[in-house]
Structure 1
Amino acid sequence: MVPPVRVVLVDDHEMILAGLQAMLAGFSGRVRVIGQASTSREAVRLVTALQPDVVLLDVRLGAESGLDLCRDLTGRSPDTRVVFLSVYDDEQYVFEALRAGARGYLLKRVDGLELVRRLEEVAQGETVVDPTLAGRMAASAARLNRGEFWPGAHRGLTQRESEVLSLLVAGLSNKAMAARLVVSEETIKSHLRALYRKLEVTDRSGAIAVALREGLFR
């Protein structure tokens, strides 16, 4: 008999952790939750101690980056596979996740049985991506192969982060950017944190300065 996949859950929302625990409880013969964490520090401690088969991780952990945590965990525990479970259905996040060492990217609307199947596939060595994102990923990859890069791609910016940076240069507020891109202000803040990190700056003026200096936007 195949032993259940040993999983550690990482999310900064207690309701999400409780919901995942409840969802997976009905599949205890196939998946067993052995720990949960809400911060990067807790996650590193748990994974180092428990050496799970899979870590189910959110892209954002409050002010912390799940992508950075993924790199840390895969470096510390090479046999542990990281799967992102996110609300962000932008294919560029998938590319970033895979570059960070993740073995999967699923959306939080996944049902329990599908999640269990995907975790089992990852534990067996496969890489999984939510089916709704696979087609868009293929299209984006084709564009990249044709050399159709967006401004800031060489700095690791996703296409959406590049859009946010262009609006930042244009002088739009967070509220105005959210309205333009039809997302929440919190999502805009998340994009800003990511692009600040990639541009190695700490604020809006620093990001604008880099964009103008490198001729990304005029």
Structure 2
Amino acid sequence: MPIRVLLVDDHEMILRGLEAMLQRFTDQVAVVGAVSDVAAAVRLAVESAPDVVLSDLRLGKNSGLDLCTALRTAAPTVRVVFLTVYDDEQHLFQALRAGAAGYLLKRVDGPELVRHLHSVRDGEVVIDPTMAGRVAASAAHLHNGEFWPGARLGLTQRESEVLALLVGGLSNRAIAGRLVVSDDTVKTHLRGLYRKLAVNDRSGAVATALREGLFR
């Protein structure tokens, strides 16, 4: 039987493009709906019971991670595959932690996408081939105890470096000099790690880093 797929993206053009792409494979894929927000996606997933929800990672004010979490309760048999432009490990790991069964980039072509959908319906977890090498390298580092501190909290490698220098007592200017970046770049990294650590300032970030044992 064709794979039943629900499409979720907050850009109408993307939805129409995906529908047109998958229309060439009606013997293998049946699109059961195309919606643009989390609430509609959850409602339709419960009503139509698709095999796979193919969703963007960013959905307006919400995110595909919210959708993934909601579906684990509302429709636990539905598998979620993210189709996104974000090609970094941080977003990939967040998606997998949320329970996603796949992470693909929007440059995927029709035949490849259909193959991946088949694999997901068969119980596999699929990762875009262009990211697979980097993920394997990260896994090797993790096995060797070399994975960067804070990765499990969603920090990027550079945010982890900034946090380590923060814990060491360096000022923004000193951090910028050590990493050979601008002061504004340091401030951007600080805002990102504050948000991910759910703190408001330097002292909160340092306290969290020490409490979590990120740096020994």
Q: Tell me the TM-score normalized by structure 2.
A: 0.78
Equivalent residue, structure 2, for 1:67? 65
Residues 1:122 and 2:116 aligned together = no
CA distance in 1, matches of 2:32, 2:18: 12
Number of residue equivalences? 197
Give the 5 Å matches for 1:141-180: 141-159=139-157, 162=160, 170=172, 176-177=184-185
**Change over 3 Å in CA distance of 1:41–1:139 after alignment to 2:** same
User: Which residue of 48, 51, 56 corresponds with 1:53?
Assistant: 51
Task: Give a deviation string over 1:105-139, Cα, whole Å, max 9, x none.
Answer: 11000001111111111112111111111111010
Q: Please give the per-residue CA displacement for 1:135-169, whole angstroms capped at 9, x wherever unaligned.
A: 11010011122222434334343436647878998
Change (3 A) 1:90 1:212: same
Report the residue type matching 2:11 in the other structure.
H
Pairing of 1:1-16 with structure 2 (within 5 A): 3-16=1-14
CA separation of 1:54 and 1:143: change in aligned 2, threshold 3 A:
same
Distance 2:158 2:112 in 1: 28
The answer (yes or no) to whether the contact 2:194–2:205 under 8 Å persists in 1 is: no
Matched, 1:212 2:210: no
1:117 is aligned with what amino acid? R
**Partner SS state of residue 146, structure 2:** coil
1:137 corresponds, among 132, 135, 138, to: 135
User: Post-superposition shift, 1:209?
Assistant: 4.3
CA change 1:210–1:15 in 2 (3 A) is farther
The change in CA–CA distance for 1:17 and 1:103 in structure 2 (over 3 A counts) is same
Partners of 1:18 and 1:167 lie apart in 2 by 47
Q: Alignment partner of 1:36: what SS?
A: strand
Q: Which amino acid aligns with 1:92?
A: Q
Q: Which whole-Å CA distance do the structure 1 matches of 2:25 and 2:135 have between them?
A: 30
Q: Secondary structure at the match of 2:135?
A: helix
> Which structure 1 residue ranges, 5 or more long, are not aligned?
181-187
RMSD over aligned Cα, in angstroms? 3.1
| Change in 2 beyond 3 A, CA 1:111/1:152 | same
**Judging changes above 3 Å, is the alpha-carbon distance between structure 1 residues 170 and 44 closer, same or farther for their aligned structure 2 residues?**
farther
Distance 1:161 1:22 in 2: 40
Q: Distance in 2 between matches of 1:10 and 1:88?
A: 16
Tell me the SS of whatever aligns to 2:145: coil
Q: Structure 1 CA distance, aligned partners of 2:131 and 2:41?
A: 27
Larger Rg belongs to = 2
Secondary structure (helix, strand or coil) at the match of 1:26 reads helix
Find the counterpart in structure 2 of residue 183 from structure 1. none
Residues 74, 82 of structure 1: 8 Å contact kept = no
- Could you tell me the TM-score, scaled by structure 1's length? 0.77
Distance 1:207 1:67 in 2: 26
CA contact (8 A) 2:102 2:126 kept: yes
Report the CA distance shift for 1:137/1:47 in structure 2 as closer, same or farther (over 3 A): same
Query: Which stretch of the first structure deviates more once superposed, 156-165 or 33-42?
Result: 156-165
Identity %: 59
Closer/same/farther in 2, CA of residues 160 and 67 from structure 1, 3 Å limit? farther
Q: Distance in 2 between matches of 1:211 and 1:136?
A: 28
C-alpha distance in structure 2 between counterparts of 1:208 and 1:21, whole Å: 47
Contact map agreement 1:8 1:47 (CA 8 A) in 2: yes
